[in-house]
């Protein structure tokens, strides 16, 4: 890896302030030059990010550094496709009223995501789940897209209101 260029992103200040660094990470990845990797510094080993960036053509090498923090080198594969920004999260058109609801406020990640995915398993195609979250569920978006669900996200003073339409992404 000695000649590999890397852009460095230290998300420790965001995490220590209680923030969610996923948006900053994806923005940095989208701005990488061809062949450039990402050197990420975090307060924990960002295991969910391995799968997200792996799907975008990156391999990773993670190791603990001083103070219990982690450094992860994300290296683009030789044939990796250019990284696109996250897919649009809003869906146009009329949706039915929610048939189920979850209040995930006050829960720490990944609990809100786990609860949402579990609730969707018991629903029928076309039904809508409403979920209230403290944070925007950035790791949830790729999972919903992969499963063919549609989502509308609204920022509200008390957090985020999500409307998730089961299976809507497959058939609309």
Q: Residues 41-93: pLDDT tens digits?
A: 999 998 888 888 887 889 999 999 988 999 999 998 864 444 433 333 334 45
Written in H, E and C, the secondary structure of the chain is: CCCCCEEEEECHHHHHCCCCCHHHHHHHHHCCCCCCEEEEEECCCCHHHHHHHHCCCEEEEEEECHHHCEEEEEEECCCCCCCCCCCCCCCCCCCCCCCEEEECCCCCCCHHHHHHHHHHHCCCCCCEEEEEECCCCCCHHHHHHHCCCEEEEEEECCEEEEEEECCHHHHC
Percent with pLDDT over 90 in the chain: 37
The answer to whether domain 6-76 and domain 100-171 are alike in fold is yes
- Listed by start position, the domains of the chain span 6-76, 100-171
CATH of region 6-76: 3.30.110.40
> In CATH, which superfamily holds the domain spanning 100-171?
TusA-like domain (3.30.110.40)
Q: What digits encode the pLDDT tens for the residues 95-113? A: 888 988 999 988 888 889 9
pLDDT of 43 reads 93
Q: What digits encode the pLDDT tens for the residues 123-159? A: 989 899 999 999 888 889 998 988 899 999 998 888 8
């Amino acid at each position: 890896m000695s000649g590999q260029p890397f852009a460095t992103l230290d998300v420790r200040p965001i995490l220590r302030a209680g923030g969610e660094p996923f948006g900053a990470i994806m923005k940095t990845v989208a701005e990488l030059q061809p062949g450039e990797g990402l050197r990420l510094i975090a307060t924990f080993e960002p295991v969910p990010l391995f799968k997200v960036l792996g799907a975008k053509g990156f391999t990773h090498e993670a190791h603990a550094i001083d103070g219990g923090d982690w450094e992860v080198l994300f290296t683009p594969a030789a044939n990796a496709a250019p990284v696109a920004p996250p897919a649009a999260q809003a869906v146009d058109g009329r949706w039915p009223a929610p048939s189920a609801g979850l209040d995930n406020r006050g829960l720490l990640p990944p609990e809100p995501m786990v609860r949402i995915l579990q609730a969707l398993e018991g629903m029928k195609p076309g039904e809508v789940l409403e979920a209230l979250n403290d944070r925007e569920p950035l790791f949830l978006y790729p999972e919903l897209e992969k499963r063919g669900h549609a989502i509308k996200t609204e920022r509200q003073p008390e957090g985020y209101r999500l409307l998730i339409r089961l299976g809507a992404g497959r058939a609309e």
